[in-house]
Amino acid sequence: MQKNKKLLIAGVGGQGIVYLTNIIAEAALISEIDVSISEIHGLSQRGGIVTAGIGFGKNCTGFIKNAGVDFLIGLEPLETQRCLQYLHKKSCVVFGNYRIMPYSVNAQMAEYPDVLKFSEYLKKNCKKVYFIEKFPETIEAVNYNIYLLGIATLQPDFPLKAEKIEIAIKNLIEGKRKEKTLDIFRMSIDNFVEKSKSI
């Protein structure tokens, strides 16, 4: 039996985190893996922080503890950085550079952290880090979540296989968006499958 794994998704309200967890839950069901998801969305509609913890395996909750996350998908760099304490040395991090300025930064009360420096630090300290400095221009910001999920599935120990996620997308999404979502998911895998082999 596969070892229990924990995945954390972090971002800002409106980035489609709950949407992503729906797909993951469906894929886990299809894969017959026990899954438990814990979402915290404090006022998510109003630009607050949203995180979702996902536990795969028996007796594995979606609750997250320090150094307890095996995979982190970061939809926003600052919120990715805020989850640092949950990572451990063998964690895999997939995060994008789509920045959403919090009010404190706009009002000059605080500085947005140096994302490149953070990315370098992560690369030195974690097993595997994908930092998407620039998303392909054809992808709209609302679909970055699917793109990052695609990259995560390339990890051999990621609990969900890409083909199961494809089935989940087909089951859950209707109409034109189904094909579009599948395209983005596949594009992400195509873009990174070679790279991940060569590394």
50: Cβ–Cβ under 8 A, 6 or more apart, which residues?
10, 11, 12, 13, 15, 17, 18, 39, 40, 41, 44
d(CA 104, CA 74): 20
Smallest distance from other proteins to CB 194, Å: 25
Smallest distance from other proteins to CB 180, Å: 17
Looking at the Cβ atoms of 125 and 155, the one nearer to other proteins is 125
d(CA 37, CA 99): 25
Give the chain's largest Cα–Cα span: 51
Looking at the Cβ atoms of 126 and 187, the one nearer to other proteins is 126
Looking at the Cβ atoms of 148 and 189, the one nearer to other proteins is 148
d(CA 180, CA 151): 17
Interaction site with other proteins (CB under 8 A): 12-13, 21, 25-26, 28-29, 34-40, 42-43, 45-49, 55, 58-68, 78-79, 81-82, 84-85, 87-91, 97-99, 101-113, 118, 121, 125-126, 134, 137, 141, 174
d(CA 15, CA 9): 11
Smallest distance from other proteins to CB 197, Å: 26
Looking at the Cβ atoms of 39 and 193, the one nearer to other proteins is 39
Nearest to 135 by CA among 124, 150, 123, 120: 150
Looking at the Cβ atoms of 133 and 194, the one nearer to other proteins is 133
